[in-house]
Amino acid sequence: MSRKKYSPTQKKRHPNISRRLRNHIQDRSLTEMYASLFEHNPDSIISLNLEGVILHINPSAERILGYTSLELEQKNITSILEAHISEQVLQNIKNTEADNQQEYILSIYHKNGFLLDVVTKLVPIFVQNRLTGVYAIMKPLEKSERIENMLKESEKRLRTL
C-alpha cells in the first residue's frame, strides 16, 4: 500500500485540522472533567444565574435537600430559603467576587418541610471573563457548629442590652 502524497497547500492545511481536532478533544476532555467534579463532589453544589435561578444541582444536593434536579431547576433559590434572608442571599449572589469568597450559614427548606442549616460558600462562574452566575457549595452544619453559632448570637444580644 502506497502513502498518499500531499501537495504543499494540503500540507499547510493539514496541521491546522490536526490542531483544531486536538483542541476540540482537549476542550471536550476539560468539559468532562468539570462535569465529573460537579457530579461526583461530596459537597452539595447548586449552580445559579445572577438572578438566583437554579440552573443545575448535583446528586449530593439532591440527597441533602430531598429534591430532584427537575424539581428545582429553573426555580429561584428563594423558593427554598427562609423568607427573611432571601433578599440578602440574592444580593450576595450579585456581589460575589473571585478574590473575596465568604461563607454564609443559611437555613434551607428540605422537601419534607423541615429547615436544614448549611454552611454555604458562593464561588463565581466566569464565562469569557464575565460573571454569569455562582456555584453555591454547601455542607450541612454540624451540631457543634450550630451550638457555637447560637452562643455567638446570644453574646451579641447580651451586648446590645
Q: Which fold has domain 43-160?
A: Beta-Lactamase (3.30.450)
Q: What is the mean pLDDT of the chain?
A: 86
Tell me the domain boundaries of the chain: 43-160
129: DSSP letter? T
Closest CA to 45 of 133, 112, 128, 147: 133
Residue 116: how many CB atoms within 10 A of its CB? 17
Which tens digits make up the pLDDT trace of 92-138? 999 888 777 888 899 999 999 999 999 999 999 999 999 999 999 99
